[in-house]
Structure 1
């Protein structure tokens, strides 16, 4: 069976934040659980968008909706570990693109996980996908475009 492999260009990361693994994030195997990692990825995404002045939902009813999430785990993380989330964007298309994540433990430089979250812009009032706003695209001028 083929395994998922995630590799991203170094130059696409444009934001970094630290999150601490809480005791409540630990599973029965005594390490960071998958469900908690997904929550931490969501928090890193929210911080990234906020930093760039992007609302997850705007007053006009248009927002970003996650379409998929792929994660590969490389090492365990434990309670009270500080994790560094490097966040970037890539592979823009007419409607959205990918938000990428490299998650490391800074004190020993261990790679904990890689993740990619697909997104599109969505009009919640009309319940339909809409084109990426120019105001979003121009915040990331170096992003490559998919056909």
Structure 2
């Protein structure tokens, strides 16, 4: 099976820090694989909020996660502060990829990288919609 490869942009539009809690840690005493996506979801919420949006209101429409891919680069441990960087790339008619990198804030040690495919969605009509021009404009 071919390994997943995530290419990162030269510049990230956003970064935030998140401290790993005990609930993020598994029996191996490191960041749990399922909890990693929870940390990234929190970063995505902050990313959208930094532009004045929420997951249910990006210029009047919401987003849904269509897919996700990630690569682990090193372990992360309880109490460490993660720097999560994120940017929107690979736009298409109805969505884009949110590419991210998570590193330990103090040392810069890369912990994981990935991308989350999002689709813009009208929750009233239950249908996908085109990428809002204002959102796309943040990354032009």
TM-score tier after normalising by the smaller chain length: over 0.9
What does the per-residue CA deviation read over 1:40-95, in whole Å, with 9 as the maximum and x for residues that have no partner?
00000000000011221139962011101111101000000000001111011111
TM-score by length of 1: 0.90
The 8 Å contact of residues 20 and 81 in structure 2, kept in 1 or not, is answered as: yes
CA contact (8 A) 2:58 2:135 kept: no
TM-score (norm 2): 0.94
| SS of alignment partner, residue 3 of structure 1 | coil
Q: Which runs of 5+ in 1 are unaligned?
A: 142-147
Which residue is equivalent to 2:45?
46
Task: Find out whether 1:7 has 2:7 as its counterpart.
Answer: yes
- Check the 8 A contact 1:61/1:125 in 2, yes or no: no
- 1:113 to 2:101 alignment: no
Residue ranges of structure 2 left out of the alignment (5+ in a row)? none
The C-alpha deviation readout for 1:101-144, integer Å capped at 9, x for no partner, is 11001222211000100001011111111111112111221xxx
Task: Please name the residue that 2:30 is paired with.
Answer: 31
- The DSSP-based 3-state class of the residue aligned with 2:45 is helix
| CA gap 1:92/1:32 in 2 versus in 1, 3 angstroms | same
Structure 1 counterpart SS, 2:103? strand
- Give the total of aligned pairs: 140
Query: What corresponds to 2:65 in structure 1?
Result: 66
How big is the alpha-carbon RMSD for the aligned residues of Structure 1 and Structure 2?
Answer: 1.5
**How far apart, in 1, do the equivalents of 2:25 and 2:9 lie?**
31
